[in-house]
Structure 1
Amino acid sequence: MDKELTVEEFADFVRFMRKSINLSQIAFVQVIGVEVSTIGRWELAKMMPTDIYATVQDIREAVKSTIRNKSA
């Protein structure tokens, strides 16, 4: 059985992923395609996206792509 992700866990995940590639919130939104205010609310654990698992996957893919581009 899958454990539900809490808003605090999601906030930690977003912050960790953004910081792992050394991006500001403004730069990160350009990579993942959301509004700056959305990232702020996510990182402050004020809200979560409707489709949490699709968003987590999108963030993971964006971070992987950024890492690949920096390594090239």
Structure 2
Amino acid sequence: MNLTAQEFADFIRHHRLSIHMSRKQFAEELGVKKITYDQWEQGRNLAKDAPHVISSVRQVVKKNIRRQGVHS
């Protein structure tokens, strides 16, 4: 998987916003420091293990969609 830092940033931002979560909350869900997440989302750094992070992002989104569906 060859992603640029900006493509990675766009991916995680889109998914975070789709579940109406703050950067801090999303970072906590992913198990990373907020400053690390901020650098990813701003396109300043690409996660060393981007494929794993992408998988984790998808899991967080699925979990939160289910949670929102239960409370809707």
TM-score for both structures, normalised by structure 1: 0.89
Q: Distance in 2 between matches of 1:26 and 1:64?
A: 18
Correspondences of 1:1-72 after superposition (within 5 Å): 4-72=2-70
Q: Which runs of 5+ in 2 are unaligned?
A: none
Q: Distance in 1 between matches of 2:38 and 2:28?
A: 14
Deviation at 1:35, TM superposition (A): 0.7
SS class of match (1:54):
helix
| Aligned residues with identical type, % of pairs | 34
Task: Give the partner amino acid of 1:54.
Answer: H
Q: Distance in 1 between matches of 2:30 and 2:68?
A: 16
Q: Which runs of 5+ in 1 are unaligned?
A: none
Deviation at 1:32, TM superposition (A): 1.5
For residues 42-69 of structure 1, what are the alpha-carbon distances to aligned partners after superposition, in whole Å with 9 as ceiling and x for unaligned? Answer: 0111111111101100111111111111
Aligned residues: 70
Task: Give the partner amino acid of 2:63.
Answer: S
Deviation at 1:17, TM superposition (A): 0.7
For residues 7-62 of structure 1, what are the alpha-carbon distances to aligned partners after superposition, in whole Å with 9 as ceiling and x for unaligned? Answer: 11000001101100001111112222111001110011111111110110011111
